[in-house]
Amino acid sequence: MSANDLAPGGKRRLARAVATMALAASALLTSAGSAPAAPQDDTIALRTLNDIVKGDYAAATVHFDATVRGQLTPDALKQAWTNYQEQFGRYTSHQQPRDAKAGGFTVVSVPLRLERGPGEFRVSFDNGGAISGLFFLRPGVPLS
């Protein structure tokens, strides 16, 4: 689905849906603390980001848990990434991931460099190593 396929206001509804999912997941992320992530979490987060950047949205969803997979299809992920870049500018690069524990989740935050300033790619992992949340953020958004 392209942006032209959306009904008027469709981009806004999709952005709100992604934001709602982000808020729901952040409600689960209480009592954040700094802790190293399992090396595979960093690897999967960076692989997911790289798949998104190169436009392979189906590959980017491989590690999603069932809930995220149902809410953030490859087409919805493509639209969310497009909307994010429209707001913050085209992706240029990223830095090393930072890891934290929040509730029962491991959160991997990857600082982004975008044309119009910094951004953040944040992925939360459940105890089984599946992606239970994926967010494109402005810098400084707290975990909870």
String of DSSP letters for 43-77:
HHHHHHHHHHHTT-HHHHTTTB-HHHHHHS-HHHH
pLDDT at 102: 86
Residue for token pair 């958004």: 141
- More confident of the two residues 24 and 119: 119
pLDDT over 80 (residue 12): no
pLDDT in tens, 25-36: 333 333 344 445
What's the mean pLDDT in 16-29?
A: 38
Of 112, 119, 123, give the one whose Cα is nearest residue 139.
119
Task: Quote the pTM value.
Answer: 0.75
CA atoms of 135 and 32, how far apart (whole Å): 17
For range 95-114, the mean pLDDT: 94
Torsion angles phi and psi, residue 68, rounded to 5: -65, -40
Q: Quick check: 131 and 124 in contact, CB under 8 A?
A: yes
42-95: pLDDT as tens digits:
999 999 999 999 999 999 999 999 999 999 999 999 999 999 999 999 999 999
Band of the pLDDT at 22, cuts 50, 70, 90?
A: very low
In whole angstroms, what is the distance from residue 73 CA to residue 28 CA?
Answer: 21
Q: What percent of the chain has pLDDT over 70?
A: 73
End-to-end CA distance of the chain: 32
Judge contact between 52 and 112, C-beta under 8 A. Answer: no
Which pLDDT does position 36 carry in this prediction? 52
Q: Which domains does the chain have, with CATH numbers?
A: 9-137 (3.10.450.590)
Q: What is the Cα–Cα distance from 100 to 58, expressed in whole angstroms?
A: 27
